[in-house]
């Protein structure tokens, strides 16, 4: 357990940051899941709309260092490719 005042504060901040990051990560996963569900249903219009919403959320997650920036870019790229390859 932390002994100094600054270490105690750092421990409190770590708990708070963990909660915030967990919420961000969950939100990112939810947006990605919506895109994947729309792709699975074969609804291209819904998939495009979901991708439009998911892309900024993924990039925000990367900016806040919840996911690595290359991971976010890779996910956006692969989801875009899958949405484009859907037949109209």
Overall number of domains in the chain? 1
Structural domain that includes position 57: 5-84
Q: pLDDT for 33-64, tens place per residue?
A: 999 999 999 999 999 999 999 999 999 999 99
Residues of the chain above pLDDT 90, percent: 94
CATH number at residue 55: 1.20.58.110
pLDDT of 88 strictly over 70? no
Cβ neighbours of residue 50 under 8 Å, at least 6 residues apart?
A: 31, 34, 35, 37, 38
Q: What's the distance, CA 77 to chain centroid?
A: 14
Considering only residues 39 and 2, tell me which one the structure prediction assigns the higher pLDDT: 39
What is the rounded CA–CA span in Å between residue 23 and residue 82?
27
Looking from the CA of 42 toward its CB, the CA atoms found within 13 Å total 2
Angle at which helices 44-63 and 69-84 cross, to 10°? 170
């Amino acid at each position: 357990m932390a002994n100094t005042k600054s270490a105690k504060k750092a421990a409190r901040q770590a708990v708070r940051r963990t909660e915030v990051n967990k919420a961000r990560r969950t939100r990112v996963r939810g947006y990605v899941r919506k895109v994947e569900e729309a792709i699975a249903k074969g609804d291209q219009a819904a998939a495009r709309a979901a991708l439009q919403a998911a892309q900024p959320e993924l990039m925000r997650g990367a900016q806040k260092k919840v996911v690595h920036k290359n991971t976010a870019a890779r996910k956006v790229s692969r989801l875009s490719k899958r949405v484009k390859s859907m037949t109209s």
